[in-house]
């Protein structure tokens, strides 16, 4: 079971200029062979299939716990894609940047740019696809039942994942993509070290000498530096209130690049509130506009005895409240005229 918190693993910047073409590239980090869906499902299936887990508890705890973090990485990549797509067509708050008249053809401005399925099938949001719009496949999952083979596979899966993240970083300069890849390069490095340490403790093979593979100078990448300064290149978080206690039996020793001590943090990271991205009316079905859904939700909230205002926490709640007040004031002035 996964205990889910309504927080993002790392902070991403608010929507700026839309970048549908860049969003299509970032899809590789979601649904590609080395994307976050692959890391999540590889480690999750391996943990489901893990036999003799009590006898090999430190190794089971490692695989199962890293799987939990990867679930959050899937959400973070999807959020970056959604941020990059915001504003590509007219939005409900008047921030649309569509090139053509929104009353005639609101999606014509994105034709031929990026992945058309983002707008046709995805509600202007992320999809379980790679950068070529091919669906993610369960064929990407490797679960042999042999612990050494699975851990070796996981080490090289993280290797390929970090390589892809660096390529996306160098290909897409949108602020959300850069913030995303800066964070994932650091955390992917931690997982790579974790599997290397597990193999060394299990077999004596020193994969740490192969690290870093690929050789990525994260200390020189601006978007990586805040996470390194915070110590996130050394930390393996334990994503459970009570379980996976034996992580420290495997994840220990010096960091292969810096020589600093690796540490297990006995709690999940605090995370940051997600942003309430504006609705995209151009991709809604007729008769169920975002405003209509909000009205229905307000009535349901009142009927259930809940507070008038939504209870969830979002990063831009204060800014959104100011925008709503401004729109209401403007509408009132327009009506009075």
For 90-130, what is each residue's pLDDT tens digit?
766 555 444 444 456 788 888 999 999 999 999 999 999 99
The token duo for 192 is 């790579």
- pTM across the whole model: 0.89
pLDDT digits (tens, 9 = 90+) for 201-243: 999 988 877 766 678 999 999 999 999 999 999 999 999 999 9
Query: What is the DSSP pairing of strand 235-237 with strand 263-265?
Result: parallel
CA dist., res. 238 & res. 218, Å (int):
24
> pLDDT exceeding 70 applies to what percent of the chain?
88
Compute the distance between CA of residue 232 and CA of residue 63 in angstroms, rounded to an integer. 19
For residue 149, give both structure tokens.
């083979």
Query: What is the rounded distance in angstroms from the CA atom of residue 151 to the CA atom of residue 192?
Result: 10
Q: Is the pLDDT of residue 312 over 90?
A: no
pLDDT of residue 99: 45
pLDDT at 101: 46
Per-residue pLDDT averaged across 323-328, rounded? 55
CA–CA dist 258, 260 (Å, integer): 5
Cα-to-chain-centroid distance, residue 71: 8
Query: Which of 18-32, 148-162, 309-323 shows the lowest mean pLDDT across its residues?
Result: 309-323
In DSSP notation, 269-312 reads: ---BPPP-PPP-GGGSPTT--HHHHHHHHHHHHHHTT--SS---
Give the list of residues 6+ apart from residue 258 with CB closer than 8 angstroms, or none. 233, 234
**Cα distance between residue 51 and residue 54, in whole Å:** 9
How far apart CA 309 and CA 304 sit, in angstroms, is 13
């Amino acid at each position: 079971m996964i205990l889910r918190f309504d927080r993002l693993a790392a902070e991403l910047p608010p929507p700026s200029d839309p970048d549908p073409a860049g969003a299509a590239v970032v899809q590789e980090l979601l649904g590609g062979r080395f994307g976050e869906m692959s890391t999540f499902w590889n480690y999750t299936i391996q943990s489901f299939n893990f036999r003799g887990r009590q006898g090999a508890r430190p190794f089971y705890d490692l695989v199962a716990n890293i799987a939990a973090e990867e679930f959050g990485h899937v959400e973070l990549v999807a959020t970056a894609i959604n941020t990059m797509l915001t504003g590509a067509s007219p939005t409900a708050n008047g921030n649309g940047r569509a090139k053509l008249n929104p009353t005639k053809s609101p999606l014509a401005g994105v034709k031929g740019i990026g992945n058309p399925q983002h707008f046709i099938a995805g509600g202007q949001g992320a999809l379980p696809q790679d950068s070529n719009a091919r669906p993610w496949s369960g064929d990407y999952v490797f679960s042999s039942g042999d612990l050494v083979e699975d851990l070796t596979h996981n080490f090289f899966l993280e290797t390929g994942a970090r390589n892809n993240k660096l390529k996306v970083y160098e290909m897409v300069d949108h602020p959300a993509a850069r913030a995303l890849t800066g964070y994932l390069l650091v955390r992917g490095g931690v997982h790579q070290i974790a599997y290397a340490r597990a193999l060394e403790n299990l077999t004596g093979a020193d994969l740490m000498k192969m690290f870093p593979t690929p050789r990525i100078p994260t200390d020189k990448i601006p978007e990586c530096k805040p996470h390194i300064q915070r110590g996130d290149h050394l930390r393996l978080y334990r994503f459970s209130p009570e379980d996976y206690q034996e992580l420290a039996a495997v994840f220990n020793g010096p960091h292969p690049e810096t020589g600093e001590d690796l540490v297990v943090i006995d709690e999940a990271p605090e995370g940051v509130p997600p942003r309430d991205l504006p609705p995209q009316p151009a991709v809604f079905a007729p008769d169920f506009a975002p405003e209509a859904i909000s009205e229905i939700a307000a009535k349901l909230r009142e009927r259930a005895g809940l507070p008038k205002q939504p209870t969830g926490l979002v990063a831009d709640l204060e800014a959104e409240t100011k925008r709503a007040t401004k729109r209401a004031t403007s509408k009132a002035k327009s009506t009075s005229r």
